Amino acid sequence: MIATAKAQWFAARPLLAMVSLAFVATGAAAQPQENGRESAEPKEAFKQADLGGDGAPAAERRLGIGFALTTKTADLVSSLTEANDFIDVMLRGEAPVLLKEHAEGPVKVACVFRSLDHMRETISLLQGAGVKCAYLGYNPEQSPGTPNGELDDFVDSVKRAKEAAAAYGAGLLMGPGMRFMMGREGDYAKAAPYADVWLVQSQQFQIDRETRQRATPSEYRANVQRVVGLLREANPRIRIWVQIVVWAGPNENPFSAQEIVALARSIEDTVDAVRIYTSGVPNGVETLREVIRSLRGDTALAAPAR
């Protein structure tokens, strides 16, 4: 769900580190090309993306924003002021220290894990530290970290995760890998009733895996909406977060802030929040900073200290 390292990106291919929802047959259509090559100019929809907001006051922009809490993103947490904003963290390395600094703040925190055993370890660490997370995030992937048995009996695994989260006193955030869900769309309806939030990994909706063409905002919206419909039909109360990546993988140029904002705006009326996944490129956090400023207004955050 929250693929956490560049190496996980390769492990999750051809999906895309985590974002892959069920890349349906209606995948991103190929874009027009000039002289046999894709134009170097941004597509018109992206060029016209509103980087300063849509004219409405910042307080009226309700789309939540989320990202992974790291030492590089910690200074951005203060910019998260909306009810649907969140940060997420996997408890390893410096993460416990960062978590303790932000767990008591106003922003919702999701603690992420790859397996039910890891979930139990996470709960134990949280209880030992006297820290409370708003959500426990189960991120099963077809890669190291998630036992095959949990994948084979996915719905039962989700049910067990819900029971453990409820006993701890947190909501359950589900973020299964998209490649995994592609072959079992029927499980959306079976698993959604146990989840409080579902994170849709949308990398494969951002770019067509076969043609390598980037989706337009309308194409992206159509694919996201399809999965949203499956989830909300089964659980009308579920909150839905959608992950948008800055880097779509090897041999791909990073998405610009303009492109990410355009994709986010295309789904803001149908989802609760977007999670910006910054790993894989040196300037990922700076792109995140620009996206926040664009979605929330120029005064949302100050420039980083030099």
264 lies in a domain? yes
Distance of CA 228 to the CA centre of its chain: 14
pLDDT of residue 288: 97
- Number of neighbouring beta carbons within 10 Å of residue 115: 20
Domain that holds residue 149: 6-22+63-296
Distance (Å, whole) CA 261 – CA 38? 21
Residue with tokens 């989840």: 195
Query: Which CATH number goes with the domain that contains 120?
Result: 3.20.20.80
30 lies in a domain? no
CA angle 185-260-112, nearest 5°?
55
The amino acid occupying position 273 is A
pLDDT of residue 98: 83
194 lies in a domain? yes
Residue 34 has pLDDT above 60, yes or no: no
Residue 264 has pLDDT above 60, yes or no: yes
Residue 297 confidence class, pLDDT cut points 50, 70, 90: confident
Q: Calculate the dihedral angle through the C-alpha atoms of 111, 240, 291, 78, rounding to the nearest 10 degrees.
A: -40
226 lies in a domain? yes
- The DSSP letter of residue 204 is H
pLDDT winner (highest mean) among 153-167, 243-257, 292-306 = 153-167
96 lies in a domain? yes
pLDDT of residue 29: 35
28 lies in a domain? no
211 lies in a domain? yes
Prior bond of 14 cis (ω within 30°): yes
43 lies in a domain? no
Residue 19 has pLDDT above 60, yes or no: no
Q: How many residues does the chain have?
A: 306
Is 0.75 topped by the overall pTM?
A: yes
Residue with tokens 């100050």: 302
How does pLDDT run across 114-153, given as a tens digit for each residue?
999 999 999 999 998 889 999 999 999 998 899 999 999 9
Q: Tokens for 260?
A: 């990410």
- Provide the number of structural domains found in the chain: 1
